[in-house]
Chain A
Amino acid sequence: MGKNIGVYICSGCEIGNCINTEKTCQVAMEEFNLSHAKVHSALCSVEGYNFILTDIEEHKLKAVLIAACSPRVKTEVFDFPDNILLERVNLREQVAWCFEYGEDMQMAADDYLRMGIVKLKNTTVSEPYIAENINSEILVVGGGISGLSSAIEGAKAGYKIHLVEKENTLGGKLNTLYKQYPSRAPFNTLTDPVLKNKLDEVTSLENITVYTSTTIEKISGQPGSFDVKLLNGKTQNLKVGAVVAAMGWEPYDANKLGHLGYGKSPNVITNEEFEKMVKENPGLSLPPNILFIQCAGSRDKNHLPYCSSYCCCTSLKQAKYIRELSPDSSVFIVYKDIRTPGLGEEFYKEVQKDDQVFFTKGVINEVLTENEKLRVNVGKTLQDEDISLQVDMIILATGMQPAGTEELNLTYRLGKGLPELKYNFSDSHFICFPYETRRTGIYAAGSVRAPMDIAACTEDASGAMFKAIQCIEAAKRGEAVHPRSGDKSYPDLFMDRCTDCKRCTEECPFGTYDETEQGTPLLNINRCRRCGICLGSCPERVINFSNFSINSVSAMIKAVEIPDEFEEKPRILVFVCENDAYPAMDMAGTKRLKYSPYVRIIPVRCLGSINKVWISDALSCGYDGILQIGCKPGENYQCHFIHGSELTETRGINIQETLQSMMLEPERIRTEFVEITDYFKIPEIINNYVETIERIGPNPFKGM
């Protein structure tokens, strides 16, 4: 490709003292016949920027290579017109600052320049994919507190909302609420359920269409153009841009709580049943002694292992209205821990003021019926005492189970609902990114995502709705959403060579690929998060991005000058995940931690985006070893693309077969996992590997 490339090498920040920049310039001019290769003492200064800009204008450059500091810094400075391809080569943090001074530094700098130039030659400007007729309407599934709030808030932002509820009325669990506990000051008063206000708002907002007694037959398509088939006696087709999934929760099945007396007596009921009872008849007469069993089937490995977050406050609420409705009744609350975090403590204190509400920590040993009454034996209470209480009624504070998202009926190859994280909750695995979804454009809201109360659901509903809106807006610009937000590149498939092996469809964490009836992968670009895992998975190498491709990385691998075996300078190719490992290497440089100069680093979008062909390319070129550094896999994985780094392990088996077939040692490839703050481990990781390679000796393919 005949691109007019300008190469600019910075000699500032010690680079000029460590390498002969003029000599590196010669590499560009002599080896690549480039006419514009120059050195400047501070490319990031105003003069430096103008120095490049003048060249772009005068020489009609199409591409610019800046060999200076890490691309993670001075990003805003090197802002050139959109049609100019820009590539940064990191001579500062990953050469000058991390290698000992010497000829190896020069060799590394020259190699990185070569790699940068060939990468540019194999890169094109990313033209965004902007689908026609991006739809801005949003489907909200579920008409409980989360669905209602989501619809209202989205409509207020000017978006048209389709609110679908399978029951014949909106409101979900709110319909059975008698009172709500306060989530803000004053904490001394219970409030009326928020349902009526929400329903009034839904009615008043013209851009909400409500569909009750309606289910979803199927959802296909992608962000900006989902096709939805609704069923309510007849079939109805909708086009929407994004979806909020707010299916809510179900109470834990109390029939499984026989040990707590459920089923033994009609006077043992659940918190939900009690609420309904009072809602239907607030004037009902309540018995003198009522006992609450907290964590009934929660925090219990035989039932729900988790805490449902809402039950403590709910029992406090019920205790409070019992005392208001029936001042002669006493209330006992047996708990494991009273969990009223944050300002909920104020409400706890309010209820504690009532001297007829008794609290004790304890374990329920036994619940027995005694004539018309109930006997509760509690162990391990305060002071390690066992106590025995006779009461008239027991209320079991049962927890919540997510209703699940299967009813979305997605036509995706990877399943009908959203993937579930744990205990059937469709939650994000990421602390920093609670709305991360593996089905782009579809966002879980409320208690289908995690156990939460009304206030939390209301908040969560807005967040999920906002992400839905954002996804539509990004589709309009042809940009990826988090974590590669703004990325305009996308996978481009050369279908003639596709063998329908389905690896891309199976390995994509986001369900980007559907399949045609013939089994051919069908790309939905707006579902794609641009991680490149499909590129890494493809044995036929038919998947490429404009700026990240089989050819561009192969060319970079081959651009490195491999010294012959007698020079005793091994070459190690290091694939580095750009999310955490690359910044860790930069930080090692910033801290001037030194490591072996025999490494050549190629940043990749994710370890999962490494294609096997690069490994064989590198080994046949004569690299002595290949190191892959990425994010931690496993239960607490840190891979931003879910299982990208884990794939290196499963794919590793195939790679070991490649090594065997080439009669090479298994140590020629190693994978290391680091966290971003593990920069201090970088020298050890690299030096250890270099030592291993030096021990097993040079790659026999060197020079062949």
Chain B
Amino acid sequence: MEYKSSIKPTLIIGGGISGITAAVELAEAGREVILVEQKPYLGGNVVKMNNYFPKLCPPGCGLEINFRRIRQNPRITYFPSSTISDISGSKGNFSVSMVTSALYVNDLCTACGKCTEVCPEERPDEFNYNFTKTKAIYLPHEMTFPMKFHIDDQYCKKEACNKCVEVCTNNAIDFAAQAESQVLEVSSIVIATGWRNYDARKLANLGYSSSENIVTNVEFERLLAAAGSGNGKLKRPSDEKEPKEIVFVQCAGSRDENHLPYCSAVCCSASLKHALTVQEKIPGCKVTIYYIDLRVTGRNEDFLKKVEENPNITLIKGKVGNVEKNSETENLIVEAENILEGKKIKHTADLVVLATGIVSNELPLNLLTTQDGFLSDDQQEGIHAISCSKKPMDVSSSVKEATAVALKAIQ
């Protein structure tokens, strides 16, 4: 098929693994694409992950290939720090309003890092779920793409300080920069705005707000990561002690009518991955996983077998009812039930990980949603929701969806 230049580009909203995949796949088939991402960098949730199940390999490996595909493909235009505020029109002729927030650091930035050395202000590092801090001008993470620094509006004193501007030899910092709006004319739209994890503060019985040592599964990724809070060494947040006994609470707020009624499909495999990764970091560390059903489908059964064979990992069918802190030791008392043995358990752990589920990110756009808050399959013709914006799924399935939607976009 010859693509005529009269075909407008496809817009992809969301620069996580799904959006990136849809963009590179379409562009490599000869189609022009525009990729819009809210954060200053591409990579979404996966760039924060320490590793993937079942290979325990780093997401950066595939992202590097994808970033290279983006860099060298002239058919991809991407806009970080940008959001979509309105969509109008119909298949073949959509008009989309995009707002790019003020880019105080522009494309002249070489990521040399002089600015951050002189910056006197600090901010909590949301990339590391606030376990660590960065300067107000910072490189979001080591694989930041596009590779440039970013300024946190909330913490930077701007002209009143001006120290970074003074040391930047490339004139890459401009506090006069303004947010900019533009209208994109596109033929079709792929929505890949992805997910966030369920708010663990709502799980009062699991004690999330009561102890630093009760963390969510996504936070746990940053406790494990080389560039995370412990520089690759797993330490518990309250006192930086190496944990010896870790409890995972599966379905924390999932398969639960009071929270998320559905299953998030990834949390079982994610916790199994965590359990094995813990063994690499702290050999012999005792890990117990309390679950309802172990939902590890397909070939990943091998992965479950590997976990079952590990003498330091115990899998118990049972729901955790309560987690409480021992204020003296900062340890946690987990109350659970062993359904198979019909016993109640009180389990003391020094770190508890809540396997929280997937919630679709909300969009300020007029789109059809399901009762579970996900985007519906039945959008206006020419608009396609994919991956975790549509239903919970793992990375590989998301990439499958992103490739499949590329075919829809060229029909």
From known contacts A73-B111, A157-B411, A184-B377, infer whether A345 and B255 are also in contact, taking CB-CB under 8 Å.
Answer: yes
Q: Mark A614-648, 1 if CB is under 8 A from B, else 0.
A: 00000000000000000110001010100000000
Say yes or no: A42 contacts B170, CB within 8 Å.
Answer: yes
Say yes or no: B142 contacts A591, CB within 8 Å.
Answer: yes
Q: Mark B278-303, 1 if CB is under 8 A from A, else 0.
A: 00000000000000011111111110
Is A492 on the interface with B (CB-CB < 8 A)? no
Say yes or no: A341 contacts B407, CB within 8 Å.
Answer: no
* Residues 360-411 of B contacting A (Cβ, < 8 Å): 370-372, 374, 377, 391-393, 395-397, 399-401, 403-408, 410-411
Nearest CB to that of B53 among chain A residues?
Answer: A431
Give Cα A340–Cα B294 distance, bound, in whole angstroms: 10
Say yes or no: B61 contacts A345, CB within 8 Å.
Answer: no
Say yes or no: B403 contacts A435, CB within 8 Å.
Answer: yes
Q: Mark A509-532, 1 if CB is under 8 A from B, else 0.
A: 000000000000000000000000
Give Cα A469–Cα B30 distance, bound, in whole angstroms: 10
Which listed residue, A136, A153, A435, A450, touches B411 by the CB 8 Å rule?
A153
Is A481 on the interface with B (CB-CB < 8 A)? yes
Which listed residue, A12, A159, A636, touches B1 by the CB 8 Å rule?
A159
CB neighbours (8 Å) of A483 from chain B are: 65
Given contacts A72-B147, A73-B147, A343-B372, 19 further A-B contacts (CB under 8 A): A305-B301, A305-B302, A342-B392, A343-B262, A345-B255, A383-B339, A421-B299, A430-B62, A431-B395, A432-B66, A469-B407, A473-B1, A482-B65, A485-B73, A486-B69, A579-B61, A632-B57, A640-B65, A676-B58
Minimum distance in angstroms from A63 CB to a CB of chain B: 19
Q: Mark A448-486, 1 if CB is under 8 A from B, else 0.
A: 001110001001111101110110011001000111011
Say yes or no: A306 contacts B299, CB within 8 Å.
Answer: yes
Say yes or no: A470 contacts B226, CB within 8 Å.
Answer: no
Minimum distance in angstroms from A404 CB to a CB of chain B: 16
CB neighbours (8 Å) of B299 from chain A are: 306, 421-423, 425, 427, 450-451
Which listed residue, A461, A463, A580, A636, touches B55 by the CB 8 Å rule?
A636
Is A434 on the interface with B (CB-CB < 8 A)? yes
Give Cα A174–Cα B136 distance, bound, in whole angstroms: 59
The 8 A-B pairs with the shortest beta carbon distances in the complex, nearest first, are: A432-B62, A462-B404, A463-B403, A383-B342, A341-B265, A337-B293, A466-B407, A342-B265
* Residues 28-83 of B contacting A (Cβ, < 8 Å): 28-30, 52, 54-66, 68-69, 71-73
Say yes or no: B111 contacts A460, CB within 8 Å.
Answer: no
Is B340 on the interface with A (CB-CB < 8 A)? yes
From known contacts A12-B170, A384-B340, A587-B142, infer whether A675 and B25 are also in contact, taking CB-CB under 8 Å.
Answer: no
From known contacts A345-B255, A361-B317, infer whether A469 and B29 are also in contact, taking CB-CB under 8 Å.
Answer: yes
Q: Mark A412-442, 1 if CB is under 8 A from B, else 0.
A: 0000000001110101001111110000000
Say yes or no: B298 contacts A579, CB within 8 Å.
Answer: no
Nearest CB to that of B67 among chain A residues?
Answer: A72
Which listed residue, A345, A459, A467, touches B263 by the CB 8 Å rule?
A345
Q: List 7 A-B contacts (CB under 8 A).
A: A157-B1, A157-B407, A305-B301, A305-B302, A384-B342, A486-B28, A579-B61
From known contacts A337-B293, A425-B299, infer whether A75 and B110 are also in contact, taking CB-CB under 8 Å.
Answer: no
Say yes or no: A466 contacts B395, CB within 8 Å.
Answer: no
Say yes or no: A462 contacts B112, CB within 8 Å.
Answer: no
Give Cα A268–Cα B167 distance, bound, in whole angstroms: 80
Say yes or no: B57 contacts A485, CB within 8 Å.
Answer: no
* Residues 307-344 of B contacting A (Cβ, < 8 Å): 317, 339-342
CB neighbours (8 Å) of A116 from chain B are: none
Give chain B's interface residues, CB within 8 Å of chain A: 1, 17, 24-25, 28-30, 52, 54-66, 68-69, 71-73, 108, 110-113, 139, 142-143, 147, 169-170, 225-227, 231-232, 255, 261-265, 293-302, 305, 317, 339-342, 370-372, 374, 377, 391-393, 395-397, 399-401, 403-408, 410-411
Give chain A's interface residues, CB within 8 Å of chain B: 12-14, 41-42, 44-45, 69, 72-76, 136, 153-154, 156-159, 184-185, 299, 305-309, 337-346, 349, 361, 380, 382-384, 421-423, 425, 427, 430-435, 450-452, 456, 459-463, 465-467, 469-470, 473-474, 477, 481-483, 485-486, 579-580, 583, 587, 590-591, 631-632, 636, 638, 640, 675-680
Which listed residue, B72, B294, B305, B403, touches A75 by the CB 8 Å rule?
B72
Say yes or no: B372 contacts A482, CB within 8 Å.
Answer: no
CB neighbours (8 Å) of A13 from chain B are: 110, 112
CB neighbours (8 Å) of B392 from chain A are: 341-343
CB neighbours (8 Å) of A461 from chain B are: 404
CB neighbours (8 Å) of B110 from chain A are: 12-13, 42, 44, 69, 73-74
Which listed residue, A344, A485, A580, touches B69 by the CB 8 Å rule?
A485
Give Cα A307–Cα B303 distance, bound, in whole angstroms: 11
Say yes or no: B265 contacts A677, CB within 8 Å.
Answer: no
CB neighbours (8 Å) of A466 from chain B are: 25, 29, 403-404, 406-407, 410
CB neighbours (8 Å) of B302 from chain A are: 305-306, 422
Give Cα A315–Cα B377 distance, bound, in whole angstroms: 26
CB neighbours (8 Å) of A632 from chain B are: 57
From known contacts A383-B342, A432-B395, infer whether A157 and B62 are also in contact, taking CB-CB under 8 Å.
Answer: no
Give Cα A358–Cα B72 distance, bound, in whole angstroms: 57
Minimum distance in angstroms from B250 CB to a CB of chain A: 11
CB neighbours (8 Å) of B111 from chain A are: 73, 590
Say yes or no: A384 contacts B341, CB within 8 Å.
Answer: yes
CB neighbours (8 Å) of B371 from chain A are: 185
From known contacts A12-B112, A305-B301, infer whether A340 and B404 are also in contact, taking CB-CB under 8 Å.
Answer: no
From known contacts A159-B1, A422-B299, infer whether A460 and B65 are also in contact, taking CB-CB under 8 Å.
Answer: no
Give Cα A434–Cα B299 distance, bound, in whole angstroms: 14
CB neighbours (8 Å) of B57 from chain A are: 431, 632, 636, 638, 675
Say yes or no: A309 contacts B297, CB within 8 Å.
Answer: yes
Which listed residue, A307, A452, A486, A680, touches B226 by the CB 8 Å rule?
A680
Say yes or no: A675 contacts B61, CB within 8 Å.
Answer: yes
Minimum distance in angstroms from B287 CB to a CB of chain A: 19
Say yes or no: B298 contacts A431, CB within 8 Å.
Answer: no
Give Cα A638–Cα B64 distance, bound, in whole angstroms: 13
From known contacts A158-B1, A430-B62, A590-B111, infer whether A306 and B298 are also in contact, taking CB-CB under 8 Å.
Answer: yes
Minimum distance in angstroms from A330 CB to a CB of chain B: 22
Nearest CB to that of B52 among chain A residues?
Answer: A431
CB neighbours (8 Å) of A462 from chain B are: 403-405, 407-408
Give Cα A425–Cα B66 distance, bound, in whole angstroms: 26
Give Cα A69–Cα B111 distance, bound, in whole angstroms: 10
CB neighbours (8 Å) of A156 from chain B are: 411
Give Cα A677–Cα B265 distance, bound, in whole angstroms: 26
Say yes or no: B108 contacts A44, CB within 8 Å.
Answer: yes
Which listed residue, B29, B297, B393, touches A470 by the CB 8 Å rule?
B29
CB neighbours (8 Å) of B377 from chain A are: 184
From known contacts A69-B110, A432-B59, A469-B29, infer whether A341 and B396 are also in contact, taking CB-CB under 8 Å.
Answer: no
Which listed residue, B62, B65, B143, B261, touches A345 by the CB 8 Å rule?
B261
Say yes or no: A460 contacts B400, CB within 8 Å.
Answer: yes
CB neighbours (8 Å) of A338 from chain B are: 293
Say yes or no: B1 contacts A136, CB within 8 Å.
Answer: yes
Minimum distance in angstroms from B347 CB to a CB of chain A: 19
CB neighbours (8 Å) of B261 from chain A are: 345-346, 349
From known contacts A157-B1, A463-B404, A473-B29, infer whether A587 and B263 are also in contact, taking CB-CB under 8 Å.
Answer: no
Give Cα A308–Cα B143 distance, bound, in whole angstroms: 37
CB neighbours (8 Å) of B317 from chain A are: 361
CB neighbours (8 Å) of A486 from chain B are: 28, 69, 72-73
Give Cα A591–Cα B341 distance, bound, in whole angstroms: 51
Say yes or no: B28 contacts A450, CB within 8 Å.
Answer: no
Say yes or no: B64 contacts A579, CB within 8 Å.
Answer: yes
Give Cα A153–Cα B411 distance, bound, in whole angstroms: 8
Nearest CB to that of A677 among chain B residues?
Answer: B58
Among A74, A452, A466, A477, max chain B CB count under 10 A is at A466
Give Cα A305–Cα B388 distance, bound, in whole angstroms: 29
Nearest CB to that of B405 among chain A residues?
Answer: A462
Which listed residue, B69, B232, B391, B400, touches A343 by the CB 8 Å rule?
B391
Give Cα A299–Cα B66 distance, bound, in whole angstroms: 35
